[in-house]
C-alpha cells in the first residue's frame, strides 16, 4: 500500500509545526506504523528535536531528480535511522534554501515533490510527514500538493489567524487551479491555555472552520523541555497531558 503523505504547514512562525511533526511522527511509529519524517525547513529543527544533527538530506532529496539506480541509492542513504522503531528521517539544514532556489530556477512542476516521493521513498512507509518552514514559496506549494492530508497548527495564545487564512487560501487555490486531490485534515489549535484570548481564538476557529477544528494542544512546559532534551514527548513525559493530546491526534490520523 502506498504511504499516506501528511504536510504540517502554516506560514506563521513558532506555532508548533515542528513540535507537531516530531511528536505525531513518533506516536504513529509507536502504534506500529512505518513513518518517514522529511524536514523541508532550512532551520533543520526536526532533526534537532529528535536529538540528531541537521544534515543536507533534504537538499539531495530535492535536487537529485534523475532516476538512475545509483541516484536512487544515493538519495536513500539520506534516510536516517532515528534510534526509534519505525521512525526514520530525511534531515534538513540551511542548504534546503539553495534547493528551493534551484527548484525555482528549474521551473519544476507543482507535482515535483510527489514525483520524487514515488521515485525515492514511497514504498515501505505507511506515513510520510513533511515539516515545513514558516513562509510561502515553491517548496511549500509542492509539499502541499504532494500531500493527501494537511494539518495546520495554529497558536491560540497570539493572533495567528491571518496566517491561517492565507494558508487555507493556498490550499483552496491548489485544489481549484492546480488539480490537488488531497484535503485539509484540520486546524490544530496549539498553545491553548484557557485564557479569554485562547477561548476567543477557539470560538473564531470553530465558527470559521467548524468540524475541521481538531482537539487543541495545551500550552505546556514539558513540550518546551523536549527541545533541550532532544526527546519526543513520549520519551520525556509519556504520562503528561501533552502526550495524551498528541496521541489523540495520532489516533485521529490513523482513523482518517
Determine if 16 is a binding residue for ligand ATP (CB under 6 A): yes
Q: What residues from 125 to 144 belong to the interface with ligand ATP (CB under 6 A)? A: 134
Which residue's Cβ lies closest to Mg ion? 18
Sheet containing 35-39: which strands, arranged edge to edge? 80-84, 87-90, 35-39, 127-131, 4-8, 149-155, 183-190
User: Measured from the CB atom, is 18 or 140 closer to Mg ion?
Assistant: 18
Give the one entry of ligand ATP, Mg ion, none that residue 26 binds, where binding means its C-beta sits below a cut-off of 5 to 8 angstroms depending on kind.
none
User: Measured from the CB atom, is 42 or 86 closer to ligand ATP?
Assistant: 42
The H-assigned helical ranges of the chain are: 17-30, 45-49, 57-63, 69-76, 95-106, 112-120, 138-146, 161-178, 196-209, 221-229, 233-236, 241-255
> Max alpha carbon distance in the chain (Å)?
57
Q: What is the nearest approach in angstroms of ligand ATP to the Cβ of residue 246? A: 10
User: Within 13 A of 208's CA, how many CA atoms are on the CB side?
Assistant: 14
Determine if 217 is a binding residue for ligand ATP (CB under 6 A): yes
For residue 37, the cross-strand partners are 89, 129
Determine if 17 is a binding residue for Mg ion (CB under 5 A): yes
Q: What residues from 30 to 69 belong to the interface with Mg ion (CB under 5 A)? A: 45
Residue 126 has a CB neighbour count (10 Å cut-off) of 18
Binding residues for ligand ATP, rule CB under 6 A, total 19
Determine if 44 is a binding residue for ligand ATP (CB under 6 A): no
Determine if 198 is a binding residue for ligand ATP (CB under 6 A): no
- Give which of 128, 184, 174 is closest to 153, Cα–Cα: 184
Three cell numbers written together for 202: 477557539
Determine if 78 is a binding residue for ligand ATP (CB under 6 A): no
User: Measured from the CB atom, is 10 or 64 closer to Mg ion?
Assistant: 10
Q: What is the nearest approach in angstroms of Mg ion to the Cβ of residue 133? A: 7
Determine if 18 is a binding residue for Mg ion (CB under 5 A): yes
Determine if 39 is a binding residue for ligand ATP (CB under 6 A): no
Q: At what angle do helices 161-178 and 138-146 cross, to 10 degrees?
A: 70
Q: Which residues, including other chains, have CB under 8 Å from residue 72's CB and lie 6 or more apart?
A: 119, 120
User: Measured from the CB atom, is 78 or 191 closer to ligand ATP?
Assistant: 191
Binding site for Mg ion (CB under 5 A): 17-18, 45
Catalog residues that contact ligand ATP under the rule CB under 6 A: 13-19, 41, 43, 45, 134, 190-191, 217, 219-220, 223-224, 227
Amino acid at each position: 500500500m502506498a504511504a499516506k503523505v501528511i504536510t504540517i504547514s502554516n506560514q506563521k512562525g513558532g506555532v508548533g509545526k515542528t513540535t507537531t511533526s516530531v511528536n505525531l511522527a513518533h506516536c504513529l511509529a509507536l502504534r506500529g506504523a512505518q513513518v518517514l519524517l522529511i524536514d523541508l525547513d532550512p532551520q533543520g529543527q526536526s532533526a534537532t528535536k529528535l536529538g540528531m544533527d541537521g544534515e543536507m538530506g533534504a537538499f539531495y532529496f530535492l535536487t537529485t531528480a534523475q532516476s538512475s539506480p545509483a541516484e536512487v541509492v544515493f538519495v536513500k542513504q539520506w534516510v536516517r535511522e532515528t534510534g526509534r522503531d519505525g521512525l526514520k528521517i530525511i534531515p534538513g539544514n540551511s542548504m534546503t534554501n539553495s534547493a528551493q532556489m534551484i527548484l525555482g530556477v528549474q521551473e519544476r512542476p507543482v507535482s515535483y515533490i510527489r514525483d520524487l516521493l514515488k521515485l525515492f521513498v514511497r514504498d515501505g512507509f505507511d506515513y510520510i510527514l513533511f515539516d515545513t518552514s514558516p513562509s510561502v514559496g515553491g517548496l511549500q506549494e509542492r509539499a502541499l500538493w504532494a500531500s493527501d492530508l494537511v494539518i495546520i497548527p495554529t497558536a491560540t495564545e497570539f493572533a495567528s489567524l491571518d496566517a491561517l487564512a492565507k494558508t487555507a487560501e493556498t490550499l483552496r487555490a491548489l485544489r481549484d487551479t492546480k488539480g490537488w486531490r488531497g484535503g485539509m485534515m484540520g486546524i490544530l489549535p496549539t498553545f491553548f491555555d484557557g485564557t479569554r484570548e485562547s477561548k476567543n481564538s477557539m470560538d473564531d476557529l470553530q465558527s470559521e472552520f467548524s468540524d475541521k477544528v481538531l482537539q487543541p494542544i495545551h500550552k505546556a512546559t514539558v513540550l518546551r523541555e523536549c527541545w533541550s532534551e532532544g526527546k519526543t514527548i513520549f520519551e520525556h513525559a509519556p504520562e503528561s497531558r501533552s502526550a495524551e493530546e498528541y496521541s489523540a491526534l495520532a489516533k485521529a490520523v490513523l482513523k482518517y
